[in-house]
Amino acid sequence: MLLLFLACLGGILTILSPCILPVLPFVFARSDQPFRKSGLPLLAGMAVTFALVASLATVGGGWAVRANQLGRGASLILFGIFGLTLVFPSLAERLSRPLVRLGNRLSQEPSAGPSARSSFLLGIGTGLLWAPCAGPILGLILTGAALGGASIHTTVLLLAYAAGAATSLTAALLAGGRVFAAMKHSLGAEEWIRRALGVAVLAGVIAVGFGLDRGVLTRLSLSSTASLEQRLVDRFDPQSGETASKDQMMAPGNAMMAASGAMTGGNQPAMSGANAMMAGSNAMMAGNQPAMSANNAMMAAGDGPQTSGPPIADLAGATAWINSQPLKLASLEGKVVLIDFWTYSCINCLRTLPYIKAWNEKYKDSGLVVIGVHTPEFPFEKDESNVRKAVHDLGIPYPVAMDNDYRIWRNFNNEYWPAHYFIDARGKVRYHHFGEGGYEESENWIRSLLEEANHKPLPGNATEIAASGAEAAADSSDVRSPETYVGYHRAENFASPGGFNQNEPEVYQAPPDLKLNEWAFSGKWEDERQIATSLVPSSAILYRFHARDLHLVLGPSKAGKPIRFRVTIDGKAPGADHGMDTDPDGYGTVNEDRLYQLIRQHGAVQDRTFRIEFLVPGVQAYSFTFG
């Protein structure tokens, strides 16, 4: 019930957001007509359509995206005709094409009276075009839906959000109707008002058609509404604080990946229909919201012991097992079990592996069982052959369950990569830790649980680790750049003029100067929800960063063809600052889907401009991470 209240309140606040501007002309175009037969059915159609399409989008996949795009195109045509008939009433009489006649019926002469059915149809079109900015409340709803799957509960929450937006628009519409009525009676300006509304509708069509509702407007400051929403969530979310108190913050380099890359804060990408799942990168996770890391890069959580509680759910739902036959926690009674949620392109996960592997080797004979749960973030991480190769290359000897359907993830109510759950010999979770760090305390818990199970002390001391390469610990004190996604679904700080042309080929330009943490394309790219693909030789990505290490998740062409590249720092070859996957001249090859370490600086860390140029087309780029 509380979440329903929050959803409705979040919808009401959309009236203060710039992302509402493109659809206001559609709503106000009938403000001079009776609300019961015009405004009310229009807003009802808008709310119902948004809720249903956004619900489908959380699980619908590519077909839902394509269907939504077709619906948006049809709605733009409909509103274009509607706007033209408002500006030129005689146009509908002179033209005989069916769609124009439909536009004439929708425009309705005042003497004929408004039609509730035509208003509801306009509301459906408005619902398909509406792209609310993703504040924390809408993000909480949508990311919870993305992880939990489609349900009546999700649809009801989205409907409550849309109803809240319709409520604030109703107030604005009623007030606007009175103003327009007064102007008509006092000035005799009915025809001019009608034409002005038509021009506003056409301007809205142009804004939505050119993506301004998902580009320019989403880059306007939303800090006022986002901060208000965040305070409401922090106050009313019934699950907040169950996992960690809000003062348990982690340093920037230790911030872990949250489910779907979720983040809180303003300046969120817009959502519309099948794009509504943008709540994953750029929106809030449902429940258990801990404090953000200092650089606001990702969700971060502290850790805390659980000295008692119900037995944890089993490992049912794995799509495959590596290094082992399928396991059940019930069969491991008497053993101490460490569950490690990870994914192989996550740099934070990779940096914890040396510790996990060392603990497995040191304590396996004393009764410790380590189980990795590989829950994918990107599509290529669902490929069993890719995961098997990664397990082999990373030298992981313990069992790994592939959790492509997120069933084990949901069994544990998990929200983060990496996440470690420590289960005692009776099958209860006694401790958990999210993210990097805390290794000494984690090992102390392993030792304590083993001594409790074996009824005797363990010899030896804490394990000393000397990790190298991408697995080496981050220089947390000097990381000022956040994880950055390249696909528009979760992208931030994109600086190429004009923003993204979503799902379409586009020739991009990089600005002459980038501010810290801004990035840009150069050349021809097609940017999709999670991935960007280069389409011509010498296409490039630029990033202004501040960190010792720079990594980029990349994949070869869809046909599997290797892609040669060259990187530079401030226009020069990296030299001694090259990463594991580049040479001193900056050259390297993308030959598999994985994380590539491109830069490791050895001198003083400062703001630098990174550029990677792909010598042939076809590379697939996913996300930047830093350390």
Whether residue 228 lies inside any domain: the answer is no
Q: Between 396 and 466, name the one with better pLDDT.
A: 396
Residues 420 and 494 in one domain: no
Residues 355 and 409 in one domain: yes
Range of the domain at 541: 477-626
Whether residue 41 lies inside any domain: the answer is yes
Residue 427 and residue 312 in contact, taking contact as beta carbons nearer than 8 Å: yes
Give the domain CATH number at 392: 3.40.30.10
Residues 552 and 429 in one domain: no
How confident is the model at residue 286, as a pLDDT? 31
How confident is the model at residue 212, as a pLDDT? 52
pTM value is: 0.52
User: Which of 219, 249, 278 is where one domain is finished?
Assistant: 219
**How far apart (Å, rounded) are the C-alpha atoms in residues 531 and 554?**
9
Residues 415 and 555 in one domain: no
User: Which of 186, 201, 219 is where one domain is finished?
Assistant: 219
Burial of 43 (0-12, 13-18, 19+ CB in 10 A): buried
How confident is the model at residue 83, as a pLDDT? 62
16's tokens: 């203060």
Q: Which of 431, 458, 449, 411 is nearest to 334 (CA)?
A: 449
Percent of residues, the chain, with pLDDT higher than 90? 37
Q: Which of 122, 116, 117, 120 is nearest to 103 (CA)?
A: 122
Whether residue 40 lies inside any domain: the answer is yes
Q: Give me the mean pLDDT over the 436-443 stretch.
A: 88
DSSP 8-class letter at 270: B
Whether residue 544 lies inside any domain: the answer is yes
* Residue 461 Cα distances to 188, 362, 436, angstroms: 89, 11, 21
Q: Between 1 and 66, name the one with better pLDDT.
A: 1
User: Which of 219, 236, 252 is where one domain is finished?
Assistant: 219
How confident is the model at residue 284, as a pLDDT? 30
What is the Cα gyration radius of the chain?
Answer: 27
Helix, strand, coil % over all residues of the chain, rounded to 5: 45, 15, 40
Residues 465 and 488 in one domain: no
Residues 443 and 484 in one domain: no
State how many domains the chain has.
3
Per-residue pLDDT tens digits for 286-322:
333 333 333 323 333 333 334 334 445 678 889 999 9
Per-residue pLDDT tens digits for 18-74:
556 666 666 666 666 777 777 788 788 877 877 777 666 555 444 454 555 565 566
Residues 439 and 506 in one domain: no
Residues 511 and 427 in one domain: no
Whether residue 266 lies inside any domain: the answer is no
Whether residue 278 lies inside any domain: the answer is no
Residues 521 and 594 in one domain: yes
Average pLDDT, the chain: 73
Q: Give me the mean pLDDT over the 182-199 stretch.
A: 59
Per-residue pLDDT tens digits for 469-515:
555 655 667 889 999 999 998 899 999 999 999 999 999 999 999 99
Residues 116 and 214 in one domain: yes
Residues 14 and 123 in one domain: yes
Whether residue 31 lies inside any domain: the answer is yes
Give the domain CATH number at 555: 2.60.120.260
**How far apart (Å, rounded) are the C-alpha atoms in residues 59 and 324?**
31
Whether residue 269 lies inside any domain: the answer is no
Per-residue pLDDT tens digits for 381-396:
999 999 999 999 999 9
Residues 426 and 364 in one domain: yes
How many CB atoms neighbour CB 21 within 10 A?
15
Q: Give me the mean pLDDT over the 132-138 stretch.
A: 51
